[in-house]
Structure 1
């Protein structure tokens, strides 16, 4: 009996997410025969749930400084060659209505499926084939590229692109498969951890405060390890969330304290001293109730100091209150982990990958794009822009 025929393709891309689909449509538009394989039953699952179902598909102010990596210069080349304006042009070509929410964050007016649909249409029009429900069982080098044993038979290709993403949100099919492949071909994989993720609090007093204020959002400046973000903080039953906390979580390590300024627009001591002179009889919790919710004001006073008329505070006591309001220090117990994390920090060491083409320097014809690499963007559309830019960079050469 003859052995089953081996299917051949110029390019095989593992992973039908943002980076994989961008790579596929770019390569296929150059006339390459492209096959995208994914173990999931649907392409772009993370695209569909992103941005609360509206997909924050890029950021108008994208710059290399918005990304974390052990090799910070790596992302510059790809981001410069496929910019946010290039992707916006593609969005406009497909008549997808969008709006800026704030801080340059662009969202679909309707739903995230508009972005997935435009990628799938571009793939179809350029001839890239997408095959779902297909597990990769084995990968090995061959004389002229790579051979893959899959649940749908054997496939041979010249160029193999790993676009498998990271470990965040395993319920959507995330796994460490890409890191496994990288190690198989001699790559160093830097330690991974959850990024853009809420914090958990176990300190009884603090946890009670968070639970009582669950659903309350407040503008703040949060700092950790010489990095600061001005955004909203959201109290939850389990701890602290909201854009400010998600942003700083990427810079936080276990045991680090967070410093939160609840009055980012004013000097807390100057304000309290001024109020003490102008309104000596007002109670502290009443005054704070003009800035925060009455409930939050009362609970903060219970946590930090007894509320009394401002005239009864000594300069030292007022200083202590000001410090709590402008430099509230707390140590989270941990984070919610990969279960709810938007991204995975760490990954394939970019010092072993070409910043121009995304090709492995260890194994010719092997490419890495998107989140599997040690490049992580801030919250606000930056991780999608990295997916588009890195996928495009590889798509131009595979």
Structure 2
């Protein structure tokens, strides 16, 4: 029995069914693969060609190696191509459907149907018990028994889509340790005074390098009415902790101080915001000039004054107040402690027949298809272990 008809659960069911097992997949949602459906702007960033253990955060950075090596992005792509789903590669190795994320859901449903998987939706999961031969689960008041139980119910992220933390409760019930969980791949918020100061920038997007400690990501940054978002911020949010600063380098490929000095040399009558507007969005250029009260021509300003503007662009330290939480987080960081699981099978070491896969495990990928690849890989190796 597989609890959860998401990416990991369906992949596990496909592999176990292909291996001769009788498989029941149960989910409380009206439709399977809801996170797949909404991902990638509706086109599903279904994997990343660069996926490797280095792209994942975990209490044990070695845990994901086995699954990721045994089921690779190429393996999943082979299934996509078998079903003639058109796809394309975007920046940084991200693979998307040309048409719709629903193509991936249909593919998984077709694969489950082909191996006889029984999918039951809109079913409420109740008490879970261990029996002599396996597990007993109450489903809508009825009792169903299975030789093995796979928990693939995800984490706490996006509760409006039905995220409940059920996997964590089952882990706790059976003495499977957990690591601390928190929202990840999530926009960061700012305190009211900082928000008011940055309000003119709401909606402005800029290329940025964002750093927390030794971790750096370079992608787009978006100023919002709540704080900071965009891919670079979502990435760093998985590493950031409350009370920490992050460092922003806007337009990192440009030497802003050198640009300003050269512009002053060539045409000192230009305004600072005019020159900054050549590399930055105009609203951002105007904001920076206003913040430093640089309203005259470039010729009026010393190297020190121009250096302060350059630092504001490329050495900006900011302290977020928090994050937007599970409401908008793409994934949950932390989860079932990997020390409690066999990395080759995803089975609980202390309780044979109980498995945890996908997001509920303490393996969290970067933005860009990495979390789907973990779902496919962990689901596949689990299903393989269950095959007759």
Q: Normalised by the shorter chain, which TM-score bucket?
A: over 0.9
1:110 to 83, 99, 105: 99
1:311 aligned to which of 299, 315, 337? 299
**Partner of residue 135, structure 2:** 146
Query: Contact 1:211/1:239 (CA < 8 Å) preserved in 2?
Result: no
User: Would you say how many aligned residue pairs link Structure 1 and Structure 2?
Assistant: 386
**Residues 281 and 311, structure 1, Cα contact 8 Å, conserved in 2:** yes
**Equivalent residue for 1:375?**
363
Alignment of 1:1-398 (within 5 A): 12-151=1-140, 153-204=142-193, 206-208=194-196, 210-398=198-386
Give per-residue Cα distances to partners, 1:162-182, cap 9 Å, x unaligned. 001000000100011100001
Distance 2:293 2:235 in 1: 30
Q: 1:218 & 1:103 partners in 2: Cα distance?
A: 17
Shift, 1:310, TM fit = 1.9
Structure 2 residue runs without a partner (length 5+): none
Tell me the distance in 2 between the aligned counterparts of 1:337 and 1:189. Answer: 19
Q: Provide Cα deviations, 1:252-280, integer angstroms capped at 9, x if missing partner.
A: 11111111111200223233222222232
Q: Secondary structure at the match of 1:339?
A: coil
Q: CA deviation at 1:215?
A: 2.2
Q: Distance in 1 between matches of 2:362 and 2:295?
A: 49
Distance in 2 separating the partners of 1:211 and 1:111: 35
> Whole-Å Cα distance in 1 between the matches of residues 31 and 140 of structure 2?
16
Residues 145 and 158, structure 1, Cα contact 8 Å, conserved in 2: yes
| Greater mean alpha carbon deviation, residues 34-43 or residues 285-294 | 285-294
CA RMSD, 1 decimal: 1.2
Deviations 1:107-141 (A, max 9, x none): 11111110000000000000111111111211111
Aligned-partner Cα distance in 2 for 1:271–1:336 = 36
Cα 1:196–1:259 shift into 2, 3 Å: same
Contact 1:209 1:299 survives alignment (8 Å) = no
After the TM superposition, which parts of structure 1 deviate over 4 Å for at least 4 consecutive aligned residues? none
Rate the CA distance shift 1:202–1:156 in 2: closer, same or farther, 3 A: same
Calculate the TM-score normalised by the size of structure 1. Answer: 0.94
Q: Distance in 2 between matches of 1:278 and 1:158?
A: 78
**Equivalent residue for 1:3?**
none
Deviations 1:141-188 (A, max 9, x none): 111111112215111111110001000000100011100001111111
TM-score by length of 2: 0.97
Matched position secondary structure for 1:190: coil
Q: Which sections of structure 1, spanning at least 5 residues, go unmatched?
A: 1-11
Work out whether residues 206 and 251 of structure 2, in 8 Å CA contact, stay in contact via their aligned partners in 1: no
Q: Deviations over 1:324-377 (max 9, x none)?
A: 111111111111110010000010000110111000012111001000000000
Write the distance in 1 (CA, Å) between the matches of 2:110 and 2:213. Answer: 44
User: Take 2:104 and 2:355, find their aligned partners in 1: how far apart are those partners?
Assistant: 24
- Contact 1:70–1:374 (CA under 8 A) maintained in structure 2: yes
Verify the 8 A CA contact 1:134 1:152 in the aligned structure 2.
no
Checking the alignment, whether the CA contact within 8 Å between 1:14 and 1:162 is kept in structure 2 is yes
- 3-state DSSP of counterpart to 2:51: coil
- CA contact under 8 A between 1:210 and 1:240: conserved in structure 2? no
1:200–1:87 Cα change, 3 Å:
same
